[in-house]
């Protein structure tokens, strides 16, 4: 879809970049010529990821980071900047698990809100203030979910956190846009990753229901998601600013319309309903 040098000479930092969607994005950005820096709490995964990226002929490095700690965020961002200014921040780190909301303790809430919302804010401001101070252009892309706009039962803290990230994205788009910093967000639907599926969809039946519950009847392909991310951080998308872009096979639309549930009817069902259609309530 894209030319091989689309992201040439771009320095990109990906939080949660050692596994899952973060690793998939990093791999694609390397293919497109970028230098990729990944960070997360798990050093072994980061080391493995960077070994893969450099094995592809790319430039890559890693920093161990607990994104929940503001001082640690500042230290890592400062270390990144010592090797040269960053061009792009991808906020991908997040936490989530399923639970009835009445069963959540304050600590369980914080376990989601601290890395997902607070950590994303810490990273965005740490990078943003450096871009602004140097009058340098910068780009922020945040990975959220449909729960940010539609809510999400049984993962309420995550929905709250993602909604906050969207609010941050739109607010800073206005505050920082004229000063050269561009921000957007992506709301992915079902893009299976081992870790997330084990936590959120622990049975094969639940996974299948989630993956096929959209008009296209399938899960997303990671190539589709990472190409969208590549487009949104590339120079050619400069006029896309403050947007939340959904990529979910139309899943949110299918759940939004009042009578969308009728898509479950087959031909025989519709034939049986024919005499009843067209009647009014008079």
The reported pLDDT for the residue numbered 278 is 46
The reported pLDDT for the residue numbered 257 is 67
Q: What is the pLDDT of residues 30-82, one digit of tens each?
A: 999 999 999 999 999 999 999 999 999 999 999 999 999 999 999 999 999 99
Q: What is the pLDDT of residues 101-127, one digit of tens each?
A: 999 999 999 999 999 999 999 999 999
Residue 2 near residue 29, CB atoms below 8 Å: no
**Burial of 57 (C-beta count, 10 Å sphere; 0-12/13-18/19+):** exposed
Residue 199 lies in a domain: yes
Residue 136 near residue 81, CB atoms below 8 Å: no
**Rounded CA gap, 118 and 23, in Å?**
22
The reported pLDDT for the residue numbered 112 is 96
- Tokens (6 digits) for 118: 């607070």
The reported pLDDT for the residue numbered 168 is 98
Q: What confidence tier does 265 reach under pLDDT thresholds 50, 70, 90?
A: confident
pLDDT at 205 over 50: yes
The reported pLDDT for the residue numbered 71 is 98
Provide the number of structural domains found in the chain: 1
Average pLDDT over residues 225-254: 96
Q: Which residues pair with 39 in a beta bridge?
A: 15, 63
Distances (CA, A) of 79 to 44, 48, 73: 20, 21, 10
pLDDT at 279 over 80: no
Q: What is the mean pLDDT of the chain?
A: 92
Residue 258 lies in a domain: yes
Residue 225 lies in a domain: yes
**Rounded CA gap, 77 and 126, in Å?**
7
Q: In this predicted model, which residue has the larger pLDDT, 261 or 176? A: 176
pLDDT at 213 over 60: yes
- Tokens (6 digits) for 159: 């929905």
Structural domain boundaries, residue 235: 11-276
pLDDT at 281 over 50: no
Residue 216 lies in a domain: yes
The side-by-side arrangement of strands in the sheet containing 11-15 is 59-64, 35-40, 11-15, 88-91, 138-143, 181-188, 244-247
**Rounded CA gap, 35 and 22, in Å?**
14
Q: Which helix (H) or strand (E) holds 52?
A: helix 43-55
Residue 282 lies in a domain: no
Q: What confidence tier does 259 reach under pLDDT thresholds 50, 70, 90?
A: low
**Three-state secondary-structure class, residue 245:** strand
The reported pLDDT for the residue numbered 275 is 61
Taking alpha carbons only, the member of 142, 232, 129 closest to residue 181 is: 129
Q: In this predicted model, which residue has the larger pLDDT, 154 or 39? A: 39
**Rounded CA gap, 121 and 36, in Å?**
21
Residue 99 near residue 157, CB atoms below 8 Å: no
Residue-by-residue DSSP string for 186-198: EEE-----HHHHH
Distances (CA, A) of 132 to 124, 126, 142, 175, 243: 12, 10, 19, 11, 21
Residue 91 near residue 17, CB atoms below 8 Å: no
Average pLDDT over residues 247-260: 81
Taking alpha carbons only, the member of 88, 137, 97 closest to residue 116 is: 97
Residue 12 near residue 38, CB atoms below 8 Å: no
Q: 69-87 burial string, b = 16+ CB within 10 Å, else e?
A: eeebbeebbeebeeeeebb
CATH number of the domain at 44, please.
3.40.50.720
pLDDT at 148 over 60: yes
Residue 112 lies in a domain: yes
Residue 281 lies in a domain: no
The reported pLDDT for the residue numbered 277 is 45
Residue 62 near residue 46, CB atoms below 8 Å: yes
Q: What confidence tier does 280 reach under pLDDT thresholds 50, 70, 90?
A: very low
């Amino acid at each position: 879809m894209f030319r091989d040098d689309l992201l040439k000479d771009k320095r990109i930092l990906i939080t949660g970049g050692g596994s899952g969607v973060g690793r998939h994005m990093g791999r694609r950005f390397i293919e497109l010529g970028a230098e990729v820096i990944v960070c997360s709490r798990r050093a072994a995964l980061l080391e493995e990821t960077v070994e893969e990226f450099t094995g592809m002929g790319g430039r890559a490095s890693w920093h161990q980071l607990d994104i929940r700690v503001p001082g640690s965020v500042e230290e890592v961002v400062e270390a990144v900047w010592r090797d040269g200014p960053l061009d792009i921040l991808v906020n991908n780190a997040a936490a989530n698990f399923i639970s009835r909301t009445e069963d959540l303790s304050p600590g369980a809430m914080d376990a989601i809100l601290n890395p997902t919302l607070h950590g994303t804010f810490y990273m965005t401001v740490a990078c943003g203030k450096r871009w602004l101070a140097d009058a340098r252009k910068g780009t922020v892309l945040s990975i959220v979910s449909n729960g940010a706009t539609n809510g999400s039962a049984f993962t309420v803290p995550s929905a709250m956190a993602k909604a906050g990230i969207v609010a941050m994205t739109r607010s800073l788009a206005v505050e920082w846009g004229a000063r050269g910093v561009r921000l957007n967000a992506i709301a992915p639907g079902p893009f299976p990753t081992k870790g997330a599926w084990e936590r959120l969809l622990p049975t094969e039946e639940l996974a299948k229901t989630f993956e096929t519950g959209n008009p296209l009847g399938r899960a997303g392909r990671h190539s589709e998601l990472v190409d969208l991310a590549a487009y949104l951080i590339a120079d050619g998308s400069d006029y896309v600013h403050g947007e939340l872009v959904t990529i979910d096979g139309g899943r949110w639309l299918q759940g939004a319309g009042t009578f969308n549930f009728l898509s479950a009817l087959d031909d025989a069902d519709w034939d049986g309903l024919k005499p009843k259609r067209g009647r009014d309530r008079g």
